[in-house]
Homo-oligomer: A and B are copies of this chain.
Amino acid sequence: MDTDKKTVLVFSDDLDKALAAFILANGAAAMGNDVTMFFAFWGVNLLRRPRGRRAAGSRAVAGVSSGNGGTAVPAMVGKLAARGPGHLRLSKWNFGGLGPVVIRRLMRRAKVMDLAELIATAREQEIRLVACTMSLDLFGLAESDLVDGVEFAGVATYFDYADEANVNLLI
């Protein structure tokens, strides 16, 4: 075991929890830790490429484009799911989208970085961003739907990192 490794398992895509996850990860990295963030279930939404910016050469998303008569469900999910850091809800006080506006305003006032800045900082600090492949399958997302520089792995890889870390958080 190595005391300079940390993992954050990001299950949620609520704006408030996403902020906390990145503030913790960036703080740990700034202290010299080797940090891995593992995004599972709703958490993969945090890494979604903004609409209309699909990577060149991306393969079609099976569930959405297959025309096999069962496309309505993933399409609905795709519509409802958050698309990247600019479209998240709060875990409470969402008020139809007003809550996140308030939180962002409070963050600017308190000079706290917003989520897009926190993600950029995480990349600059070389925090490893790993997306759960089972979660992508579940939501009918392709690897190309996520931003560049993300790794893809399953639960075994999560535990490989967690086994080497001395602090493992789940949010």
Interface residues of A (CB under 8 A from B): 1, 3, 6, 9, 11-12, 14, 16-17, 19-20, 23-24, 27-28, 30-31, 33, 40-42, 63, 70, 73-74, 76-77, 80, 89, 91-93, 102-103, 105-107, 109-112, 134, 137-140, 154-156, 158-159, 162-163, 166-171
For residue A83, give the distance in angstroms from its CB to the closest CB of chain B.
15
Is the Cβ of A134 less than 8 Å from the Cβ of B159? no
For residue A40, give the distance in angstroms from its CB to the closest CB of chain B.
6
Is the Cβ of A40 less than 8 Å from the Cβ of B20? yes
At the interface, is chain A mostly helix, strand, loop or mixed?
A: helix
Is the Cβ of A28 less than 8 Å from the Cβ of B159? yes
Is the Cβ of A110 less than 8 Å from the Cβ of B138? yes
Q: How far is the CA of A41 from the CA of B138 in the complex (A)?
A: 28
Which residues of B lie under 8 Å from residue A41 when comparing CB positions? 16, 19-20
For residue A22, give the distance in angstroms from its CB to the closest CB of chain B.
11
Which residues of B lie under 8 Å from residue A63 when comparing CB positions? 109
Q: How far is the CA of A65 from the CA of B125 in the complex (A)?
A: 38
Which residues of B lie under 8 Å from residue A109 when comparing CB positions? 63, 70, 73-74, 140
Which residues of B lie under 8 Å from residue A103 when comparing CB positions? 138
Is the Cβ of A171 less than 8 Å from the Cβ of B11? yes
Which residues of B lie under 8 Å from residue A77 when comparing CB positions? 102, 106
